[in-house]
Amino acid sequence: MSNWDLEIEAEASEGDEMDETVIAKPDESVPLEDLKKEKAKAKSTFTKTRHSLLQILEEDFPDREEIKVFQEIMINAEEKAMDIMGNIYDEYKHRNDILNMKKTTKEMEKMEEEFTDAENECRDYLIESKDGSSIGSSVSRISKRANVNSGNKVESKPIN
């Protein structure tokens, strides 16, 4: 029985006769609380996967196949988290809760940025390693990683 179909049988005390069914109003916070729990789990999975992928990329000679596996897991985790956050946004929109809509939007934008940064780093490594692993590309990748960790934005440029 869904939350929207709750029926409560009202019973009278011993001397009274009463046979009445009362339709209870659903608790609107239940679906939102469930979505928030799902979001926390999905974001945690995304973050753990992203960190694992970035750790692999920091190794001296990362395994291309392992990178591809973690990349796919990260993509799926990001999609799931974004879907859940989209549902939360819709719930806030339904309630006309503009403040929480803005918070959810910022949270989604931050996750998208983290995803894009990790995806770009992954793509850059896979392209560099496809052309043949060299010390120059490895040093370049490590240098880019250090700049990303320090908060500096670095654009990818091909190495000649």
Identify the pLDDT of residue 103: 98
Q: What is the pLDDT of residues 43-64, one digit of tens each?
A: 999 999 999 999 999 998 899 9
Q: What is the pLDDT of residues 123-155, one digit of tens each?
A: 999 998 886 544 444 555 555 555 555 555 545
Which sequence spans correspond to the domains of the chain?
Answer: 28-150
Q: How far apart are CA 77 and CA 53, in angstroms?
A: 13
Please state whether the predicted TM-score (pTM) of the whole model is above 0.75: no
Identify the pLDDT of residue 30: 73
Q: How far apart are CA 12 and CA 24, in angstroms?
A: 17
Percent of the chain surpassing pLDDT 90: 58
Three state DSSP letters for 38-60: HHHHHHHHHHHHHHHHHHHHHCC
Length of the chain: 160
Q: What is the pLDDT of residues 59-99, one digit of tens each?
A: 988 999 999 999 999 999 999 999 999 999 999 999 999 99
